[in-house]
Amino acid sequence: MLKTAFLFAGQGAQYPGMGQSLYETSAAARQVFQQAEALRPGTIEQCFAGSEDMLRQTENNQPCLFTVDLACAAALTESGVQADCAAGFSLGEIAALAFCGLLSFEQAFSLVCRRGEWMAKAARRHPGLMTAVLRLDEKTVTALCGEFTQVFPVNWNCPGQVVVAGEAGQLADFEARVTASKGKTIRLKVSGAFHSPFMAEAADALAAYVQDLPFATPRIPLYANVTAGLYGDPQVLVPLQVKSPVLWQKTMENMLQAQVNAFVELGPGRTLSGFLRKISGDFCCMNVEDADSCQKTALELKGAGHD
């Protein structure tokens, strides 16, 4: 019998037109988009017709991705697939909070809008960039980061890939050191040095904001980026997450140890699916980002015995 995890995509996976085919074919997905539009007019247009530059801006990216992630989950659930546990990568964790019932859609959407605004403000006040480091082990990446005062390992994604954030000039020098060490770097399509000390001001603003939110107990197990374990106090974890590393590889390993054997990536792209295949190949891995992939995933899971 399958034990299924829903994984919600994060920033960097966005593209113009994301979610449109689900809006056109799934009543449940359409409702998610309409809820977002009512709270933040223009969200649908940004998702379907926004430029890459517009979608890269954090204050647009976060509410749009949140909406698409949850629309994908709604469409798959509408097809008869239920999740046994969940996690979200970075921004995706806020979508996972809503999906798991810790907050209502309206509360989580307002949270993600404030989160995007405050992180964008912090990025303007403390400019930085992010780069993925490939072909080097974690120890080597950590040592190279230690050669710089404003460069930090922030996303532990999978074997052979660590994302690093930092000040633009130092990050360029860091990338040169990676190349000299026979590694490879790929700049990410984001607008700040997220999950690093550069986001401290955003974390402080979120800490004050979430004190008034009525968080509920998750209806299914939810895993946290900060600890890689089951979710603890959201009023601590939600603000801490924006300035702390994402322990994604360890999160997936913990899910596998908990007997999860089917993973569904929800939202644009297949980034999280790629990470999973490098962590372990002994499971079923699918994605939902449009109408075709939703139909395919629902059929595969039902065919494999998902109830």
Q: What tokens appear for 248 in the block?
A: 């994604």
* Distance of alpha carbon 225 from the chain centroid: 9
Beta-bridge partners for 151: 166
Q: What are the φ and ψ backbone dihedral angles of 215, each rounded to 5 degrees?
A: -65, 140
List active site positions: 90, 195
Q: What are the φ and ψ backbone dihedral angles of 133, each rounded to 5 degrees?
A: -105, 125
Among left, alpha and beta (phi > 0; psi -120 to 50; other), residue 112 is alpha
Beta-bridge partners for 288: 266
Among left, alpha and beta (phi > 0; psi -120 to 50; other), residue 296 is alpha
In whole angstroms, what is the distance from residue 250 CA to residue 241 CA?
15
In whole angstroms, what is the distance from residue 227 CA to residue 250 CA?
9
